[in-house]
Chain A
């Protein structure tokens, strides 16, 4: 899609944000590979990680083309510092126990299905195509994490306690999902990006319905909510994650195999 110089810069940042979300969350999920509570879940989490990293690759590729400065998708993933990452703080939190991973993934998936559904209507054809593809994947991710929310929440005393604790801890990172900034507003006006605020009611409905069935208490909205991710403010955890993810490219620049 042909864009003005100013708009293409904004689209570049927009693509980075959503690619970074997927790369970082995919990396967190991949940490379970070989460690999940059971074989089927090991495969499930690795599969979801693969989908998310695949989606990130498609978005980074498009971002690199949009930027048109000679950087590749790999440069964007492996050669940027933490303050240059634009992912949500929600996705960079350490994987915690299995309940924590499921709680975070459920909150993200419930948002992602709504986000991608809207994004697939974007006037930017390549972006709409990536979203339509990712949407099919997000739908079965959500189905999977929703089932786990019920099983753990409405399971044993121990699983219920762990999931309730996880939800209360991660909740403060969920506010940012629906807070648009200037970039979002510009891209909504151009009919390229998604109006995040409009997604919130449906998200709340999915979340409260699942919490009710899973016998979980919904945390209140009065508490403190983290903010600033999209401007490059992160928790300390992102640096450690990137150090591990980027070590090879940083140590042996340009290494391929």
Chain B
């Protein structure tokens, strides 16, 4: 049987369309009854401007799938972490050109190596902790000299 989870697996993240809202860990819970479906989502960052867009896309996808009533809830705790991003989504991020976050990163200070998305070298350095969206940092590869984005570990 196809469930609401399956439909949401095809709802892309508006900022990074190669990954979906389920594999990014944004969808937390789904309660289904014959008529109504309640979806609970969690923001990645407090000020993530994509949340409204994500909510709309989820509604739209579920209405299209035939649900007549969709209720959205937002839940903050437990706090979203990049550890919830699935392995498959990490691989998609890498192919898309964004180095995926390291695992188990309770300590943001941890000196994990981040591999270049172009040449794979682990000799890369942090250029800035802030990038084009709250979730990304800027890095530069010291081997191939290419700048690239890194999905910050939080």
Q: In the assembly, what is the distance between CA of A40 and CA of B108, in Å?
A: 20
Quick one: given A43-B132, A44-B130, A140-B108, are A133 and B79 in contact (CB under 8 Å)?
yes
Q: In the assembly, what is the distance between CA of A48 and CA of B129, in Å?
A: 11
Contact assessment for A44 and B128 in the assembled complex, using a CB-CB cutoff below 8 Å: yes
Q: In the assembly, what is the distance between CA of A151 and CA of B152, in Å?
A: 23
Contact assessment for B129 and A132 in the assembled complex, using a CB-CB cutoff below 8 Å: no
Contact assessment for A126 and B128 in the assembled complex, using a CB-CB cutoff below 8 Å: no
Q: In the assembly, what is the distance between CA of A139 and CA of B109, in Å?
A: 10
Q: In the assembly, what is the distance between CA of A9 and CA of B127, in Å?
A: 46
Q: In the assembly, what is the distance between CA of A145 and CA of B138, in Å?
A: 17
- Nearest B residue (CB) for A50: B47
Q: In the assembly, what is the distance between CA of A55 and CA of B47, in Å?
A: 7
Chain A positions within 8 Å of B47 at CB level = 50-55, 57
Q: In the assembly, what is the distance between CA of A59 and CA of B130, in Å?
A: 24
Contact assessment for A130 and B130 in the assembled complex, using a CB-CB cutoff below 8 Å: no
Q: In the assembly, what is the distance between CA of A196 and CA of B122, in Å?
A: 43
Does chain B have a CB within 8 A of A129? Answer: yes
Contact assessment for B46 and A43 in the assembled complex, using a CB-CB cutoff below 8 Å: no
By size class, the interface of chain A is: 20 to 34
- B127-154 Cβ-contact flags toward A at 8 Å (1 or 0): 1111110100010000000000000101
| Shortest Cβ gap from B109 to chain A (Å) | 8
8 Å CB contact of B129 from A55, A129, A143: A143
- Interface of B (DSSP majority class): loop
- A136-162 Cβ-contact flags toward B at 8 Å (1 or 0): 110110011000000000000000000
Quick one: given A40-B128, A44-B128, A144-B129, are A129 and B46 in contact (CB under 8 Å)?
no
Chain B positions within 8 Å of A52 at CB level = 47
| Shortest Cβ gap from B107 to chain A (Å) | 10
Contact assessment for A58 and B130 in the assembled complex, using a CB-CB cutoff below 8 Å: no
Contact assessment for B134 and A58 in the assembled complex, using a CB-CB cutoff below 8 Å: no
Chain B positions within 8 Å of A136 at CB level = 79, 108, 154
By size class, the interface of chain B is: 20 to 34
8 Å CB contact of B134 from A47, A57, A125, A139: A47
| Shortest Cβ gap from B124 to chain A (Å) | 16
Chain A positions within 8 Å of B129 at CB level = 44, 140, 143-144
Contact assessment for B45 and A58 in the assembled complex, using a CB-CB cutoff below 8 Å: no
8 Å CB contact of B48 from A46, A54, A143: A54
Does chain A have a CB within 8 A of B2? Answer: no
- B86-108 Cβ-contact flags toward A at 8 Å (1 or 0): 00000000000000000000001
Does chain A have a CB within 8 A of B76? Answer: yes
- Nearest B residue (CB) for A141: B129
Chain A positions within 8 Å of B152 at CB level = 140
- Nearest A residue (CB) for B51: A54
Q: In the assembly, what is the distance between CA of A113 and CA of B67, in Å?
A: 43
8 Å CB contact of A132 from B45, B79, B130: B79
Q: In the assembly, what is the distance between CA of A57 and CA of B51, in Å?
A: 13
Contact assessment for A134 and B77 in the assembled complex, using a CB-CB cutoff below 8 Å: no
Q: In the assembly, what is the distance between CA of A51 and CA of B49, in Å?
A: 10
- By CB atoms of chain A within 10 A, which of B47, B49, B152 has the most? B47
Contact assessment for A125 and B48 in the assembled complex, using a CB-CB cutoff below 8 Å: no
Q: In the assembly, what is the distance between CA of A137 and CA of B132, in Å?
A: 16
Tell me the chain B residues, 48-79 only, with Cβ under 8 Å from chain A: 48-49, 76-77, 79
Contact assessment for B49 and A50 in the assembled complex, using a CB-CB cutoff below 8 Å: yes
Does chain B have a CB within 8 A of A128? Answer: yes
Chain B positions within 8 Å of A133 at CB level = 43, 46, 76-77, 79-80
- A-B contact list, 10 entries, CB within 8 Å: A40-B138, A51-B134, A128-B77, A130-B46, A133-B46, A133-B76, A133-B77, A133-B80, A140-B154, A144-B130
9 further A-B contacts with Cβ under 8 Å, apart from A55-B46, A136-B108, are A44-B129, A47-B130, A50-B45, A54-B47, A130-B46, A132-B76, A134-B46, A140-B152, A143-B129
